[in-house]
Amino acid sequence: MNFWWFLLLSIIKIAVVLVILLTAVAYTVLLERKVVGRIQNRWGPSRVGPFGLLQPLADGLKLFLKEDLLPTAVYKPLYILAPVIALACALTSIAVVPFGADIKFKGVDLFQIANVNIGLLVILAVTSVGVYGIALSGWSSNNKYSLLGALRSSAQLVSYELALGLSLVGVVLRAGSLNLRTIVDVQATHGALSWNIFGGFQIVAFFVYLTAAYAETNRTPFDLPEAESELTAGYHTEYSSMKFAMFFMSEYANMITVSCVATLLFLGGWSSPFGHLFPSFGPVIDAILPVFWFVAKVFFFLFVYIWVRGTLPRFRYDQLMGFGWKVLLPVAIANIVVTSLWLGFTRPL
Amino acid sequence: MSAVSYSQLVWVTLPEIALVVAALAVLACDGTVLRGAAIARRRGVAALLACVGSVAAMLLVGSGPASFHLPDGMLVMDGRTRVVQVALLVLTILTVLLSEAMLTPAAEGVAGGKTAFTHHIGEYFALLLFATVAVLFLVSTQNFLLIFLALEFLSLVLYILTGFDKQSQLSTEAALKYFLFGGISAAFLLFGISLIYGLSGSIDLSQIAVAALQPDPLWMIAIVMVVVGFGFKVAAAPFHLWAPDAYQGAPTISAGFVSSSSKVASFFIFAQVLTLGVFGAAGSGMWHGAAPGWVPVLCVVAALSLLLGNLAALVQTSLRRLLAYSAIGHAGYLLLAIIAHTPQSTSALLYYVFTYALTVLGAFGVLAALEAQGIDRIADVAGLSRRAPFLSACMLVFLLSLAGIPPLAGFFGKFWLFGTALNAAPQLGLFWLVMLAILMSVVALVYYLRVLKQIFVADVPANAGAIHSGLVTRVTLGVMAAATVVLGCDPGLLIRWVVR
Amino acid sequence: MHLVLFFIFGGFCVAGALNLLLQRHPINSALSLIVVMTSLAVLYLLLGAEFLAAVQVIVYSGAIMVLFTFVIMLLNAQREERTHGSRAAYILGFPGAAALFALLTFIFISNGKSLGFAVLGPDMVSTSQLSSVLFRDLLLPFEVTSVLILIAILGAVALARHHEPHKDESKTQGKER
């Protein structure tokens, strides 16, 4: 592997992934507005461009051109740093996500920025640092609504992170590895039948993960940190213009990451639901098709996100905490115990 | 590194497992069945369970394998370790029994009287049992990793026990001070251990002993760091600063536990580390021409402890602080035995530390029985012999034994210890230290007698009535006092066990 | 490459630690501690302990320090009031600490070669190797640690929990809170 090739291709990959991710973020917002609109029996954005397709561009432009207010009482260094932390963490974790099959060009993996042995842990680690963005923004704004939102959010994130992490252990046990590619490969043998959610009997873990992930991304029904009726806008009350946009983008980027992880861990990643049922379609299609499957699955999860938002009401705060600690956590632990017993008995060590 | 089979591991740690199970049973029982029951009932059940657990552990120690050696010195059992473990369990049982006095609510209308210091009965007894688990591990390992873990484990429990009296600001202050000093000293110990690991490539004491032959400066630094860490645990000057506050502020029985069980275990493992691990780097503590090594370091620490402990105790007005400073002085005597590091001196160390733990726990037990009266200053015990004759008699035995008066256990302990120290290798140059120790034990006599004079000679203050104490407390204290006398009259009873 | 990274993150680590001590606002100190923790994670990574590095970030930066900042935010802790400290600390403490530091540095530099050394290199310790050490060779210390953590929880609950209001206790209740 030539170092310069490696450098060049890595930079290109990073640029491409960033562009795609940010575009995806923008269009997820549009998708959300459209779908929620349909759920509520109205049209959603439809004026800018055909079907409102240019709406994200217009929104972006608007936010970019707005005046950047800096309230007097804020603690400036952290006030500026907080959205940066939030967005950086949201964008970083995508680096270890493999989007397609392991295809190498000049020794460089084409569909993954960095293939590390502990990919899953990297995602967990980076998202766990993302809490600071929210916590610090709320504190540094020097506003009681922001502070309350931030406190709620940090408590919620720390509580649900446990359930989230533990729900993944069953998958890791089955694969025997923390490498995301290995985890997907284990599920790729018999198409959809060997996906963790079906063949791996991780359906409980799947729902625990999904619930915890909704809480982690501050989405309905766990969106207490930004409950409008109580806290105006929560932790980003005082933010405007691009700083606000950064929080906004980080929330949707986190949604996308969560959907990617759910896809990789439970729905077999880029592997086809039909397994090896169909013959090869030639090298190019064989390389593109997995990416298609991956994107389709991620899209499905994003749709579920929005569907849930359009359907479920918000939890009360004590219900949220009680649910996290008294239901999700024990269930996740029970899942680990059962999975390891099952693996221990069925598989020789 | 080689693996140990899990079943073997369970087999050799059965006593500890029994204690943990007992502790969890205490917690579960207190939290579920006895929730809302009267305090006396909860106390009784918890104490009973704790005693059962300790006795079971004792039987398991007795019936378990007589000697084993897990890889890397992770757990090492020989005859002497067994004796120490049994002694520690006995001390736990005594502590549990003496806790009764502390947890009895004061009679109505006593001036300055205190209520039971805590409502968390189950947690309290569970913590005592967990502390015992820690000391059992501490004495049976020869691996720095487990030594450090067990020490931290023990310290953590002791911090909590020290701060257990939430009604008292002194208790909280004591716990905080203890915790801060403990944290710093743990950092020193860890630094020392990591240096030793870097120098010898091992955390197993027997492997380290092979490497620790040349006293080069890095070894000296490592040893000094380790001495700092252990010096804190055994409350030797100049690392003693937490001790007076902790002894004074902690709930009395917690202080008793800190000064007895924890001390026995810490001294034993301190001696193990120095005599097994870095045996080669002994050096010499001769007054002229000291050679570098751990002996001169310990000589300085021991001399400071002897001087500071005994001299500062002279001017104390609080009984508990007095016991704390006397504990620092006793740490000086005990260090003398470690410095001598002959097989006899180790036996003498064990004899001394056992009897010391017994008597000091007894002294704290008496104080605990007086706790309900709010007695802390020396002046408060004036005329105690008329108010509580039995407790006073017990106190007499314990204090005289601590002072080292002939027919009692403390005398023989000192005598034997000084004798073995004088018989140690002459190049260690211990003569001056032994002389200092003897001189200081004469000084010690003064402050013990001052207390006894208050108890037996001073007039009873007006409006002071008789003090009653519970039956369990009296029986326990009586047995301990009797044991102190018997062990002093016939030391052979104990010597048989501590001599290898 | 490794050496450069080591110096960069070692520098971050030391700078963060110094900043932690010098900052007067608790939240800045807490953030410096996060920098220290995260830099340590990178140093672990350089030593080939990738699992440890990730866990360091998840546990220390992601959980423990969040609780730190959480508490600081909840208490709305303000800038600390500097006391002048005791005079003994100034006269004896600082020179003493400096002398000790100098002594240690001197000895480490002059005798450093008798210490063992670790190799900085691309070889990563796999997670399965790590777990076989942790759960087989060092099983006993691992279990002891788990009991230790149980104690910590128990102690925290026992020390922090309110007394249930009790009849004979109405006098002391005010003080406990």
**B156 and C152 in contact by Cβ < 8 A?**
yes
Distance CA B121, CA C78 (A): 38
Min Cα separation A105/chain C (Å): 22
Say how many domains are in chain C. 2
What DSSP line would sit under B183-206, residue for residue?
A: HHHHHHHHHHHHHHHHHHS--BHH
Residue that the structure tokens 């923390």 belong to: A178
Looking at residue B298, its pLDDT comes to 87
Q: B218 and chain C: CB distance < 8 Å anywhere? A: yes
Task: Assign residue C50 the CATH number of its domain.
Answer: 1.20.120.1200
User: 3-state DSSP: chain B helix, strand, coil percent, rounded to 5?
Assistant: 75, 0, 25
Q: Chains A/B: 3 or more C-beta pairs closer than 8 A?
A: no
Give the number of A-C residue pairs with CB atoms closer than 8 Å.
74
- How much of chain C is in helix, strand and coil states, percent to nearest 5? 75, 0, 25
- Predicted pLDDT of residue B479: 92
Take residue B114 and report the two structure tokens written for it: 């205190």
pLDDT of B384 above 80:
yes
Query: CB-side exposure of B118: number of CA atoms within 13 Å?
Result: 28
pLDDT-derived band at B113 (thresholds 50, 70, 90) equals very low
Contact by Cβ (8 Å): C118, C46: no
| Euclidean distance between the first and the last CA atom of chain C, given in angstroms as a whole number | 55
pLDDT tens digits for range A304-323: 888 888 888 888 888 888 88
Cβ–Cβ below 8 Å for C62 and A128: yes
Does some domain include residue C113?
A: no
The confidence score (pLDDT) of residue A348 equals: 66
Q: Whole-angstrom Cα distance, residue B259 to residue B257?
A: 5
Q: Which two tokens stand for residue B236?
A: 């030797």
Q: Judge whether A90 and A253 are in contact, CB under 8 Å.
A: yes
Q: What are phi and psi of B69, to 5 degrees?
A: -150, 100
Rounded percentage of chain A residues whose pLDDT exceeds 70: 97
Q: Which domain holds residue C142?
A: 126-163
Q: For B297, list phi and psi in degrees, rounded to 5.
A: -60, -50
Alpha carbon A152 to its chain centroid, in Å, reads 20
Averaged pLDDT, A169-178: 84
Is the model more confident about B214 or about B337?
B337
Residue A223 pairs in a beta bridge with none
Interface of B with C in 173-192 (CB under 8 A): none
Give the gyration radius of chain A's Cα atoms.
21
- Token code pair at residue A119: 């990919």
Residue extents of the structural domains in chain B: 6-498
CA distance C25 to B350: 51
Which of B293-297, B357-361, B439-443 has the lowest average pLDDT? Answer: B293-297
Give me chain A's average pLDDT, please: 83
C140 with B167: Cβ contact below 8 A: no
- Mean pLDDT is lowest, of A8-17, A323-332, B55-64, B207-216, for B207-216
Please tell me the distance from the alpha carbon of residue B391 to that of residue B380, in angstroms, as a whole number. 14
Give the number of residues written for chain A.
349
Chain C residues with CB under 8 Å of B195 CB are 115
Taking only the tens place, the pLDDT of each residue in B140-195 is: 998 899 999 999 999 999 999 888 887 788 888 899 999 999 999 999 999 999 88
Q: What is the pTM of this model?
A: 0.86
From the list B133, B146, B199, the residue facing C147 with the nearest CB is B133
Where do the H-state alpha helices sit in A188-282?
A: 203-216, 228-231, 241-266
Q: What is the DSSP string of A258-304?
A: HHHHHHHHHS-TTS-TTTT-SPP--HHHHHHHHHHHHHHHHHHHHHH
The larger pLDDT score, comparing residue A317 to residue B57, is at B57
Write out pLDDT tens, residues C36-92.
998 998 888 888 888 888 888 888 888 888 888 888 887 877 777 777 767 777 788
CA–CA gap between residue A125 and residue A208 (Å, rounded): 19
How far away is chain C from the Cα of A233, in angstroms, using its nearest Cα?
A: 19
Domain boundaries, given as residue ranges, for chain A:
3-346
pLDDT class of C121 with cuts at 50, 70, 90: low
Q: Are C43 and C9 in contact (CB under 8 A)?
A: yes
Distance of CA B238 to the CA centre of its chain: 18
The CA distance from A13 to A102, in Å, is 14
Q: Do C66 and A165 touch (CB under 8 A)?
A: no
